[in-house]
Amino acid sequence: MSPKRIVLRFGTDISVKPIVYRLVKDYDLVVNIVKADVNPQKEGTMVLEVIGDQSEQGLDYLREIGVSVQDLNQEIIRNDDKCVMCGACTAICPTGALYLERNSMEVKFDGDNCVVCQLCVKVCPMRAMEVRL
């Protein structure tokens, strides 16, 4: 069985809960934490690889307690012809993958920090952020 790659996003209330422990203990899942981050606003993002017979039940548990769960089989790219470097995405991006370089005030995109939550795709006023399968 190949691992399922997923992206979790959660708020302050979840950041203090041992959700990975629950996946292992209650659903008998093998969990590999690929990336994990809690930003200064205490919003969390996590990229997991999950293997186990009860993986769907485990993910349902996460959704029930208010975690956003998305499959990670896509990547985000920036259409440089459309981006006008306004910055509207930079305080929305939960992982700091989109950020403003100070002084130049240019918008930078660091794909390594992107967890494909797709918030930027929705909020970009120029529709410059695109999902690629």
Partner 1 sequence: MSVEKTYAEINAKIKAGKAVVVTAEELIGLVQKKGLSAAAKEVDVVTTGTFAPMCSSGAFLNFGHTKPRMKMQKVWLNGVPAYGGIAAVDAYLGAAELPDDDPLNSNYPGEFRYGGGHVIQDLVARKPVKLKALAYGTDCYPRREFETTITLDEINEAILFNPRNAYQNYNCAVNLTSRTAYTYMGMLKPNLGNAHYSTSGQLSPLLKDPHFKTIGIGTKIFLGGATGYVAWHGTQHFPSIQNLEGQDLGPAGGTLAVIGDLKQMNPRWLVGTSYIGYGATLSVGIGVPIPILNEEIAKYAAATDQELFAPVVDYGEAYPSRTPGNLGYVSYAQLKSGKITVNGKEIPTAPLSSIPRAREIASTLKDWISNGNFQLTEPVKLLPSPADAPAANVLRA
Residues in contact with partner 1 by CB under 8 A are 40-41, 43, 84-92, 100, 102, 104-106, 119, 122-123, 125-127
Of 29 and 98, nearer to partner 1 (C-beta) is 98
State the nearest-atom distance from the C-beta of 19 to partner 1, in Å.
21
State the nearest-atom distance from the C-beta of 15 to partner 1, in Å.
14
Long-range contacts of 18-24 (CB under 8 A, 24+ apart): 19/62, 19/65, 19/67, 20/48, 22/58, 22/61, 23/50, 23/58, 23/61, 23/62
State the nearest-atom distance from the C-beta of 96 to partner 1, in Å.
9
